Amino acid sequence: MPRELAQELNKGVIVGTFSRKTTLKTTYPYLALGNNIVMAMLRASMKESVAVFKHPFFKGLIFFYKISVLDGKGQERFGRFVGITEEGKLVDPKIIWDLDPVEKEELPPPSMIDNAISKVEESVSKLASEIAKETSKKFEEIKEKTKQSIISYYSNEIAKLSERMKEYEQRLSEAPHYSRLIKGLKRGLRV
């Protein structure tokens, strides 16, 4: 565990499991999204840095990005954590759990990483624009549903007031003092 993260969590070693079954059978804490330790690890991994690992059978470079859309208030919406190969193909980001640390002698040359990053950034831009389109569609759907809900609510309120007005008009024929109630309701409908 990185020293800064260990200090932040005030732990040197983390004991836990990613399996619910194991958690139920043992006293190990369940490590999943939302868990303070896992969220701290994710925040630490999102800081701009480079770490080099190797995979038992995968060859090439994989870059991990968090892509999200910022709303008008600057809050992230519908974010995704993605893994992208140097060829621009998406990889399940869970592959990160299968990676092993690399010895200093095995580090790729910086020029290789720079070339791969320029290729990957194009794929990331495309993916980000797709996420932005999906998000705008979701917001439009939410906006339309909200609009329909408001229309439905006020239509029901108008129908109730119209019923009450009809009732008062019927009573007016029976008693003249209902005329003021009808005038008040008509003023309420105009607003």
Answer whether residue 97 is part of any domain: no
Answer whether residue 79 is part of any domain: no
The structural domain count of the chain equals 2
Q: Domain limits at 186?
A: 148-190
pLDDT digits (tens, 9 = 90+) for 55-96: 777 777 888 888 877 777 877 777 788 888 888 888 888 887
- List, as one string, the DSSP characters of 1-56: --HHHHHHHT-SS---BS-HHHHHHSSPPB--TT-HHHHHHHHHHHSS----EE-S
Q: What pLDDT is attached to residue 50? A: 63
The C-alpha atoms of residue 35 and residue 91 are separated, in whole angstroms, by 24
Q: From residue 93, give the alpha-carbon distance in Å to each of 32, 66, 104, 154.
A: 15, 10, 24, 47
Answer whether residue 30 is part of any domain: yes
pLDDT digits (tens, 9 = 90+) for 95-121: 878 777 777 666 677 777 777 887 888
* Residue 116, H or E segment: helix 110-174
Answer whether residue 88 is part of any domain: no
Strand partners, 91: 83
Answer whether residue 94 is part of any domain: no
Answer whether residue 37 is part of any domain: yes
Confidence of residue 152 (pLDDT cuts 50, 70, 90): very high
